[in-house]
């Protein structure tokens, strides 16, 4: 039984998992939003929201030490306390939003975009439209990053070119056979 065993292991050892979440959290704080897999995004949400809750405490010096202990990045901590603190101070939770983006072309992993909800942003009914736009943008990015050559398979364009070449060769072969038959018929007519 797996009672009270919350969290995902993400196929990594404890230290690797801690470093992964730390690096993802720093990237999220620096950029405001990042694209990753669905499982990592859900786990990152738990990690980051606990840190942001600490940012809201009255004793900022102690809170900074606690957050720095988790992030180990001075620039990210400064940005969190100086720029983002005002956005989160009145918010009772739910500091991040996850958009599902579909599957990655290379390995069909479920992709997601996780972003911070800053002051002035509110959850609206128009959100699905934004989600579709984000999906389109990320799909373009993922296609650029996707491996271009798959082993054991020929790309579609090459298959089409080969099919066209085979059709041309068959047409040429049929034309030659017709010419040979015509020449034979002419020889037989001349003999008679």
pLDDT tens by residue, the chain, 192 residues? 989 999 999 999 999 999 999 999 999 999 999 999 999 999 999 999 999 999 988 889 999 999 999 999 999 999 999 999 998 988 899 999 999 999 999 999 999 999 999 877 654 444 445 566 766 776 676 666 655 655 666 566 777 788 888 888 888 888 888 888 888 888 788 776
**Taking the C-alpha atoms of 142, 112, 39 and 67 in order, what is their torsion angle to the nearest 10 degrees?**
110
Distance CA(152)–CA(49), nearest Å, equals 44
Tell me the backbone φ, ψ of residue 51, rounded to 5 degrees.
-65, -45
Question: What six digits make up the tokens of 44?
Answer: 């990152």
Contacts of 28 (CB under 8 A, 6+ apart): 34, 44, 48, 96, 114, 115, 116
pLDDT at 5: 92
Spell out the alpha helix ranges (H) of 106-191. 127-145, 156-191
pTM of the entire predicted model? 0.64
What is 14-145's CATH superfamily? Ribosomal protein L17 (3.90.1030.10)
Query: What integer pLDDT is reported at residue 125 of this predicted model?
Result: 41
Q: Is 43 exposed, middle or buried (0-12, 13-18, 19+ CB in 10 A)?
A: buried
Cα torsion angle, 63, 65, 70, 71, sign: positive
The domain ranges of the chain are: 14-145, 153-192
- Kindly write down the DSSP assignment for every residue of 134-146, as one continuous string: HHHHHHHHHHHHS
Which DSSP state fits 99?
Answer: E
């Amino acid at each position: 039984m797996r009672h009270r065993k919350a969290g995902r292991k993400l196929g990594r050892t404890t230290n690797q998992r801690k470093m992964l979440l730390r690096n993802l959290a720093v990237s999220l704080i620096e950029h405001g939003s990042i694209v990753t897999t669905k499982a990592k995004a859900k786990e990152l949400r738990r990690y980051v929201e606990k840190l942001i809750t600490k940012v809201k405490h009255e004793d900022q010096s102690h809170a900074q030490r606690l957050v720095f202990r988790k992030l180990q990045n001075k620039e990210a901590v400064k940005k969190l306390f100086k720029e983002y603190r005002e956005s989160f101070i009145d918010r009772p939770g739910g500091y991040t939003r996850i958009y599902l983006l579909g599957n990655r072309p290379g390995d069909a992993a479920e992709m997601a975009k996780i972003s911070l909800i800053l002051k002035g942003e509110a959850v609206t009914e128009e959100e699905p439209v934004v989600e579709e736009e984000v999906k389109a943008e990320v799909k373009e990015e993922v296609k650029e990053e996707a491996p271009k050559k798959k082993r054991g398979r020929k790309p579609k364009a090459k298959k089409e070119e080969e099919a066209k070449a085979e059709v041309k060769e068959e047409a040429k072969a049929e034309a030659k056979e017709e010419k040979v038959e015509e020449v034979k018929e002419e020889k037989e007519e001349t003999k008679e």
